Amino acid sequence: MLRLLAISKNTFVDTLRQPIYTVIIVFSLLLMFLAPAISMYTLDEDIKLLRELGLSTLFLAGLFIAVFASTGAITEEIESGTITTVLSKPISRPAFVIGKFLGVCGAVALAHLLITMVLLMMIRHGVLETASDEIDWTVITAVATGILASLIITSFMNYVYDWNFLSTGVVLSVVFMAFGILFLFFVDRDWKFNPADNHFDRFDIIASLLLLLAMFCLVALAILFSTRFNEVLTLTFCVGFFLLGLISDWVFGRFADQHLWAKIGEILTPNLQVFWVSDAIYETGVIPMKYLYMAFIYAVLYAGGILSVAIAMFQRRQVG
């Protein structure tokens, strides 16, 4: 267990230090900041469109972080030969694969948390539909304070203690954005203590949790492909399964009862429609907790099955 935790920790830290990890997060946050301006060109559907744009950004950001982090965790170690040193120690191959999976999942979850908090702030701010709508300065202050504090403290730690700038910046951003969310939970747009009117909806939190479960399934797939293929093929296969998973019911589900190939395809392909709640945004606006539990069970079973296949494929992989 200690060796498994050590591999997970090293993978988590190495992922946070990858420049592509921070680039994806920064680009996603920029899209979040632009989402209210894009959503204003609708007729009474502004908040709903803002939610859909935010969740879509969250989904795609998690996909690319999962793919690039997984390929960096296994493929690069195989190609550089450093994996030989790791496996020469008393570390089994199953522990190596599971440790890599847990480390990448931790990095994905951290990025997901940061982007989700910014999404909640943007939804709290809302869309300026008319010229008479006023800016929510409490949200602007919380976001600006979190960004400035993160940059100042990260720069100080990097200069004085030589801490890694990228990983430190991401972690501190999560911490200060969490304080910002806590502040906005109790303070309304008029700078008054009013928790009952904080405009935070449980729907957004559950929708974000569902997408996080989908990310864990995609991480398992990325780990599976990275045990056998290079970065380009891993990215290609993961994007292919991602797109196929969004239309799994249409491609496989409607033929599953009549054809064996459709049944096999339905089992092997992650049904990402389970985790995508776009219909609920425009229809009921409610996600039952029972649905979240069922999606959690599905994600655990699917990720566990894919990891089992990944371990079996990695057992016979020549790494020397």
Give the total number of structural domains in the chain: 1
Q: Is residue 166 part of a domain?
A: no
Alpha carbon distance 114, 129 (integer Å)? 27
Q: Is residue 244 part of a domain?
A: yes
Q: Is residue 162 part of a domain?
A: no
- Considering only residues 178 and 194, tell me which one the structure prediction assigns the higher pLDDT: 178
235 token code pair: 């990215």
Q: Is residue 48 part of a domain?
A: yes
Give Cβ neighbours of residue 319 (< 8 Å, ≥ 6 apart).
78, 83, 84, 87
**pLDDT tens column, 65-91:** 988 888 777 777 777 777 777 777 777
**pLDDT tens column, 28-66:** 999 988 888 777 766 666 778 888 888 999 999 988 998
Q: Is residue 51 part of a domain?
A: yes
Cut 0.85: pTM above it? yes
pLDDT of residue 43: 61
Task: For residue 44, give its domain range.
Answer: 2-131+202-315
**pLDDT tens column, 277-296:** 877 777 767 888 999 999 99
Q: Is residue 302 part of a domain?
A: yes
Alpha carbon distance 99, 73 (integer Å)? 10
Q: Is residue 301 part of a domain?
A: yes
Alpha carbon distance 79, 220 (integer Å)? 20
pLDDT of residue 161: 92
Q: Is residue 84 part of a domain?
A: yes
Question: What is the arithmetic mean of pLDDT over 232-240?
Answer: 87
**pLDDT tens column, 89-145:** 777 888 889 999 999 999 999 999 999 999 999 988 888 776 667 888 999 999 999
